Amino acid sequence: MTKLISDDFHDDTIAIRGGYHRTPEKEHSEALFLTSSYVFDNCQAAAQYFSNGVEGNVYSRYTNPTVRAFEERLAALEGGEKAVATASGMAATLSVVMSLLRAGDHIVCSRDVFGSTISLMDNTIAKFGVTVTYVGLTDLQGWENALTPQTKMFFCETPSNPLLEIADISALSGLAKAAKCLLVVDNCLCTPALQKPLDWGADIVVHSATKYLDGQGRCLGGAVVGSKHLMEPVLAFLRCAGPTMSAFNAWVFLKGLETLNLRMRAHSASAMSLALWLQKQSGVVSVNYPGLESHLGHALARRQQSDFGGVLSFSVKGMRDAAWRFIDATKMLSLTANLGDAKSTIVHPATTTHGRLHEKQREVAGITENLIRLSVGLEHEADIKRDLQLGLDQI
């Protein structure tokens, strides 16, 4: 994979300066192009654009300079040739499937992907004749067994949410390559600051920019990153189907990327410290965090990621009522399904993000009634701890 920016630059620098081409106004901060269309100099220029496919801005569903800057910066950070911005993370996944698969094709997907990803596969993609088999994220044999001659895509999310299981991306890539299918990795939880799936052999990365890329809970957005060759049909689908990123959101995400590396290091440091602390509390049965040596995916995460991220989950003594008492007793933590925010968030997965699953499915997925997910924000760690203590006092 060639980087759009010279390898001389470190990621911290690319995140701040990558992908932006100053306009003749010589603005220092990135310009926001709030325009739905662009003008041609004369009829001949317009005709050339439409007949010969001459490069240029025509309409913001096709191209927008602010969106392009976000795409180039993100591609450089992921080490991909090209990134294509989308209206949301779900639009990114939809675009990948709609543009690269056709009726009769088969997807193998890890079982504990984002809830809407499962709904999208089962309710929408299935209507177009693409079938899906779900397997355990870490069960390599399961992925292999699920292969059929029609399998064209592996889709996984690592670390998984809310149990933080870790997939071996290069092992999955080996299996996918042998079966001539594409490996798609949802890199939402780590972001390129902590993990670069393309370097480990993934073909495509999808993002919900809504989470850490923004990092401050303001906008919805997403992206698909990969080779120019693979991104061509994705871009073509987006341009005519329309779930593209708005210029305003792209501008917010550009600003988000500037602090991404800094934020991810801070999120990770606090999450590590809180995971160690939670582990010692008598009301806590177990803590899921890849930074803990007791975590099954610890060695793999250490190799594949540069840090362990800001999301952790833990189970408390008791059942649903204990978990609910815990969460309801906290005062500062935001009770919301979102994650990847400067504000710490807490949620009860079994009755919210994973509430649509049947009890049996939740059992298989390990989403127990006493499980709590925490997305560790950037508040002072002592204040997060004090809030969690209010919850622990209820157990």
CB of 331 to ligand PLP, least distance (A): 25
Residue 101, SS3?
Answer: coil
Q: Which residue is nearest to ligand PLP (CB)?
A: 89
Interface residue with ligand PLP, options 192, 197, 222, 377 (CB under 6 A): 222
374 binds ligand PLP (CB under 6 A): no
Residue type, 176: A
List all residues 6 or more positions away from 52 whose beta carbon is below 8 Å from its beta carbon. none
Place of tokens 């990365």: 205
Q: Which is nearer to ligand PLP, 72 or 186 (CB)?
A: 186
**Residues within window 7-46 making contact with ligand PLP, judged by CB under 6 A:** none
CB of 341 to ligand PLP, least distance (A): 12
CB of 88 to ligand PLP, least distance (A): 3
Strand order in the sheet with 371-375: 284-288, 311-316, 371-375, 345-347, 334-335
Tell me the per-residue interface mask from 157 to 186 with ligand PLP, x by CB under 6 A, - otherwise: x---x------------------------x
190 binds ligand PLP (CB under 6 A): no
Two tokens at 167? 């997939």
Tell me the per-residue interface mask from 60 to 99 with ligand PLP, x by CB under 6 A, - otherwise: ----------------------------xxx---------
**Separation between Cα atoms, residue 327 and residue 351, nearest integer Å:** 12
Give me the DSSP letters along 110-179. Answer: ETTS-HHHHHIIIIIGGGGT-EEEEE-TT-HHHHHHH--TTEEEEEEESS-TTT-----HHHHHHHHHHT
208 binds ligand PLP (CB under 6 A): yes
Q: Which is nearer to ligand PLP, 207 or 316 (CB)?
A: 207
**Separation between Cα atoms, residue 149 and residue 152, nearest integer Å:** 8
CB of 351 to ligand PLP, least distance (A): 18
Phi, psi of 186 (to 5 degrees): -80, 110
Site size with ligand PLP, rule: CB under 6 A: 14
Q: Which is nearer to ligand PLP, 286 or 336 (CB)?
A: 336
CB of 326 to ligand PLP, least distance (A): 22
Interface residue with ligand PLP, options 111, 152, 211, 373 (CB under 6 A): 211
354 binds ligand PLP (CB under 6 A): no
114 binds ligand PLP (CB under 6 A): yes
Give the pairing of strands 345-347 and 284-288.
unpaired
H/E segment holding residue 74: helix 65-78
Contact present, 247 and 62 (Cβ < 8 Å): no
Two tokens at 288? 């899921």
CB of 212 to ligand PLP, least distance (A): 9
Residue 367, SS3?
Answer: coil
CB of 188 to ligand PLP, least distance (A): 4
CB of 21 to ligand PLP, least distance (A): 27
Residues that bind ligand PLP (CB under 6 A): 88-90, 114, 116, 157, 161, 186, 188, 208, 210-211, 220, 222
